[in-house]
Structure 1
C-alpha cells in the first residue's frame, strides 16, 4: 500500500507540474495573441491614414 501511495504521490506531482506547464503555455499564447491583435490594429490604422492622405 505504501508503494502505491508513493507512486500516486509522484503521479500527482507530475500531473500538477504538467498542469502548471499548460497554464504557462496558455498565458504565453494569450500574450502572443494580444500582441498579434494590436499589431494588426496598428497596420489597419496606418493603412487608413495612408488612404486618407491619398484622398487629399
Structure 2
C-alpha cells in the first residue's frame, strides 16, 4: 500500500479545516432565532404547587 506524501496530508488538513470554519460561519450567520416576547405579560406567572409526600 503506497504512503501519502506529507504535503498531501497538509493539504487535506487545510481543506477540512477551511470547510469546518466555513460551515460554522454559515450556520452562525444564517441562524435567526425566533423571539416570542409578549408585551401584555411582563411578569412571570407563578403557580404554587402543594407537594403531598
Q: What TM-score results when the alignment is normalised by the length of structure 2? A: 0.52
What RMSD over aligned residues (CA atoms) do the two structures have, in Å? 2.2
Structure 2: state its 5+ residue gaps: 36-53
What is the deviation of 1:35?
Answer: 0.4
After superposing on structure 2, the runs of 4+ consecutive aligned residues of structure 1 that deviate more than 4 Å are none
Per-residue CA deviation, residues 1-56 of structure 1 (Å, 9 max, x unaligned), is: xxxxxxxxxxxxxxxx8x8001100001000000000000000112xx14xx46xx
Number of aligned residue pairs: 33
**2:12 paired residue number:** 27
Structure with the higher helix share, 1 or 2: 1
Structure 1: state its 5+ residue gaps: 1-16
Structure whose alpha-carbon radius of gyration is higher: 2
